[in-house]
């Protein structure tokens, strides 16, 4: 496995691989790799001759400096995970490589970034789209694979690719869950045992709404109440948002659902005592098959 640290070197390799007729797939990550990332590697391998993984904790997408400081950085462990998964190339640049001194250029998708995670995180998605653009220009992939757990991010990147004409196919890979149903996330390691137990309310809220849809419920207000009620069973859960949205445009869902609809959740779990530990924000989602009833 080759480890590359500079954009120029990665571009030269991409040119060489493309000239040889090889198909390239990129899996962008911020490290702290887990089984969910490995599933992205598998999805990439099913489409391409070469699988490349980028590992870069992108400072531009963090609103809270403390959150950036506490984000797990375990590069050597991540490299071992990439080797075990059969990754061909890892791109692991320094911050100065991706953001040279006095950088002034940003990529910004407007409407899709306003709701959900963008509502209270100004600049977050601008950081995401800017770094993904830089990665696409560095790696020149035919495919780029992202997890559907970050549903809004996936929608934003697809919009960016369409708008700017990037010659890359964006692939969404299904959410990978732990045995109890909690979505895999690099942030799960920051949950204390009790918060980890309470984190089950996210998937339980999704399950409850899916069962309600299967039973014939189509009222948006009733479904949102059901989800909030389920999350409220966790004493330390603080809802950031519980929303029903169009899966393509992320526009608010109508009062009565009549098409597949995204149920998106973001929930924060505070430490047992203020100042003792970190607040962990988890997201999850599911597209509810709310087709019109006969």
Contact 263, 284 (CB under 8 A): no
One-character DSSP codes across 175-198: PPB-TTSPBP-GGGGGS-HHHHHH
Angle among Cα 115, 116, 122 to the nearest 5 degrees reads 70
Contact 31, 74 (CB under 8 A): yes
Which residue shows structure tokens 């948006």? 220
How do the residues of the chain divide into helix, strand and coil, expressed in percent and rounded to 5?
Answer: 40, 20, 35
Q: What CA–CA distance (Å, rounded) separates 12 from 85?
A: 24
The catalytic position among 34, 37, 124, 142 is 37
Q: What CA–CA distance (Å, rounded) separates 117 from 188?
A: 18
Q: Are β-strands 50-55 and 89-91 bridged in parallel, bridged antiparallel, or unpaired? A: parallel
- 22 burial class (0-12, 13-18, 19+ CB within 10 angstroms)? middle
Reading the block at residue 234, the tokens are 């966790």
Contact 271, 277 (CB under 8 A): yes
Who's near 220: CB < 8 A, 6+ residues apart?
A: 244, 253, 254, 255, 256, 257
Contact 217, 223 (CB under 8 A): yes
Answer yes or no: 37 catalytic: yes
Give the active site residues.
37
């Amino acid at each position: 496995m080759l480890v590359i640290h500079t954009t120029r070197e990665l571009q030269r390799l991409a040119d060489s691989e493309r000239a040889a007729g090889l198909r390239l797939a990129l899996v962008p990550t911020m490290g702290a790799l887990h089984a969910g990332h490995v599933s992205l590697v598998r999805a990439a391998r099913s489409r391409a001759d070469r699988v490349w993984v980028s590992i870069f904790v992108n400072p531009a997408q963090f609103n809270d400096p403390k959150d950036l400081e506490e984000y797990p950085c375990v590069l050597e462990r991540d490299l071992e995970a990439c080797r075990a998964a059969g990754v061909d190339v890892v791109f692991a640049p320094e911050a100065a490589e991706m953001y040279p001194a006095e950088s002034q250029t940003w990529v910004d998708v407007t409407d899709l970034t306003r709701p959900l995670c963008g509502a209270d995180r100004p600049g977050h998605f601008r950081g995401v789209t800017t770094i993904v653009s830089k990665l696409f220009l560095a790696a020149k992939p035919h495919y780029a694979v992202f997890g559907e757990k970050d549903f809004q991010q996936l929608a934003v990147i697809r919009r960016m690719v369409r708008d700017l004409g990037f010659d890359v196919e964006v692939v969404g890979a299904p959410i990978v869950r732990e045995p109890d149903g909690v979505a895999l996330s690099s942030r799960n390691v920051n949950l204390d045992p009790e918060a980890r137990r309470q984190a089950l309310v996210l998937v339980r809220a999704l399950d409850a709404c899916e069962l309600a849809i299967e039973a014939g419920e189509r009222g948006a207000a009733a479904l949102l109440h059901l989800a909030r009620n389920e999350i409220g069973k966790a004493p330390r859960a603080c809802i950031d948002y519980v929303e029903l949205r169009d899966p393509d445009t992320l526009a608010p869902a109508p009062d009565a659902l009549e098409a597949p609809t995204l149920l998106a959740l973001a929930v924060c779990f505070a430490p047992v005592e203020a100042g003792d530990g970190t607040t962990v924000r988890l997201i999850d989602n599911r597209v509810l098959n709310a087709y019109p009833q006969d």
